[in-house]
Amino acid sequence: MIVLVDLLLMLIDLTCSILSAVVQTFLRPRLKSVDGELCLITGAGGALGRLFALEFAKEGAHLVLWDCNAAANERTAELARELGVQVRAYTVDLSKRQSIYEAAERVRAEVGCVSILVNNAGVVAGRRLLDCPDELLERTLLVNCHALFWMTKAFLPQMKAQNHGHIVTVASALGLFSTACVEDYCASKFGAVGFHESLTHELLAEDLDGIKTTLVCPYIVDTGMFAGCEIRKELRSLIPPLEPLYTVQQSMKAILAEQQMICIPLTLIETSSLIPSANVATYRFMGGDKCMLPFIKNIELKTSNGHIKSF
């Protein structure tokens, strides 16, 4: 009898979750306030990180900005301060676990408890696997995936103590399906997606309903990180690279609506996932399986000319 009751309750919970997801898809959800919250953003000196910082500043959140590029990070801080919020910038190497832990300790001592964590930083080696130095491959995994573990271990305990917080993982469409010649990036983003989903399940299992999570999986964003990436010529105008501001604004809507996952654009990624048996054929027709070849060629050309691009 007890087992039947438990199964019935689980069925009711599942039905409510499905209905809620359907309603959120078609109706504009109420957006929460983050005014006065302390938001930490990694990769804040880059294009997306800067835009995330400015969007959160517009919402009244105070900021802690992390980046390995001190000058770019401070520029983001200056722009955010103009919007009237408190900002602290830290130079942090996310490829080094100890650097993360030490910076986290400084933040707790100097600023306070972080309640919103935006894991945005990302890198790619930009080399073919057999031509890529091991240290560059390792760096991609360390920054894009391993750092998520250390960031969460550093800041989740305070969120758990208060049952309040929000963890955002900026992954990629390449964390849902892969393409050629960016094995390091795909592996790191698949890892990021798996980590985030497991963490979400853990928080739900522990009934920590005050801690929200949002997984962001965008298509290629026009930040220059994947300059030269191209799908089939006939489809390029229909599915162009995403504008950075649009990507961040769509992500912000999902975060403030406490949406667990957002794919950008919704139609491209989620439609393909509805028909698994047709994924490979559709992907190859679009040229997605070879879209990174021009990007890799650009990097190889720059390298041969002595201009190695750093991400």
257-296: string of b/e by CB count within 10 Å (b at 16+)? Answer: bebbbbbbbeebbeebeeeeeeeeeebeebbbbebbbebb
**In whole angstroms, what is the distance from residue 247 CA to residue 86 CA?**
25
175-205 CB burial, b ≥16 within 10 A, e <16: bbbbbebbbbbbbbbbbbbebbeebbeebee
Rounded alpha-carbon distances, angstroms, from residue 130 to 6, 111, 184, 222: 53, 44, 11, 27
Strands, E assignment, 201-260? 211-218
Asked if the bond preceding 133 is cis, omega within 30° of 0, the reply is no
Strands (E), 192-265: 211-218, 261-264
The C-alpha atoms of residue 224 and residue 228 are separated, in whole angstroms, by: 8
Reference 39, options 134, 135, 111; nearest CA is 111
How far, CA to CA in Å, does 44 sit from each of 51, 59, 140?
A: 8, 17, 17
The catalytic position among 101, 185, 219, 246 is 185
Structure tokens at 203: 């928080």
Can 90 be counted among the known catalytic residues? no
The catalytic residue positions are 185
